[in-house]
Amino acid sequence: MECPRGECISRPTSIVYPARVLAIKFQLRNLSEQYQGDCNQQVNNIIRPQLDSLVDQLLSLTPYHTEEEYLPLVVGGWQQIWSDGPTGPPLDVGGANVCTVSSQIYQVVYQGGYYWNLSKNIINGRVTTGYLRGEYRLQGKDDPLSIRFTQLTGTTLFPFPGTPLERLTDQAEDGLFDAGNMDGYVVGSTGTLANIYVDDDFRVVHGTAPQYPGQTFLYILDRTQVISH
């Protein structure tokens, strides 16, 4: 069995839920893709109450799990299909025209307490790839994960569709990408992530950040191992 970076974990057996759960997941995916938006922070936030209602229904039909119980399922690659959370360019570019492409935001979670966010960014018409490293820590039994961003780097261009995500994030972890000193942008920022629903191919997350007091952000993700279209 191949283990990413030598970190093997035992995955639980596939979770099987009632047909109603599958129907709610279908609705969440459909709304997410329909209102995803083109660039960072251009999503239609009017849709958030509808998504919240569907998430509440989903949670009412499924058993509660702690972060520690969910972790074996969280580990691996994901593609974000909707979020109203803060995103941004890979560095402080002042008044430049910057777009983080909403349909090309990924996350790879590692068992060893860290993860990489990977995104396609367009800065003044130039395509780049941003890699943002975060660390997560289990807190109390019923508490969300505490997170802290630790590194920010990038490359020119963007990987071809079908490129394995973990190959890219392993290279980032090994320091093979060097886009200069971008650590002043978000490195050191903290927050929380709560995996409120996870199964084999679908994930719903709530996030908070100290610079946005009183706000809870919603992230909806699909399982993937590769760069999509």
Q: pLDDT tens digit string along 134-192?
A: 999 999 989 999 999 999 898 989 999 999 999 999 999 999 887 655 555 688 899 99
Long-range contacts of 200-204 (CB under 8 A, 24+ apart): 200/14, 200/15, 200/73, 202/25, 202/28, 202/29, 203/74, 203/78, 204/28, 204/55, 204/58
Which CATH number do you get for residue 37?
2.40.128
Query: Residue 1 falls within a domain, yes or no?
Result: no
Query: Residue 5 falls within a domain, yes or no?
Result: no
| Structural domain count of the chain | 1
Per-residue pLDDT, averaged over 50-57, amounts to 97
pTM of this structure: 0.88
Is the Cα dihedral 121, 164, 192, 174 positive or negative?
Answer: negative
Query: Residue 11 falls within a domain, yes or no?
Result: no
User: Measured between alpha carbons, how far is 128 from 101 in angstroms, rounded to an integer?
Assistant: 11
Query: Residue 4 falls within a domain, yes or no?
Result: no
- pLDDT for res 54: 98
Most confident of 1-15, 42-56, 95-109, 135-149: 135-149
Per-residue pLDDT, averaged over 31-55, amounts to 83
- pLDDT for res 8: 43
User: Measured between alpha carbons, how far is 173 from 177 in angstroms, rounded to an integer?
Assistant: 9
Per-residue pLDDT, averaged over 111-138, amounts to 93
Q: Judge whether residue 12 has pLDDT over 90.
A: no
Query: Residue 82 falls within a domain, yes or no?
Result: yes
Query: Residue 44 falls within a domain, yes or no?
Result: yes
- pLDDT for res 37: 81
- Domain span at residue 22 reads 17-223
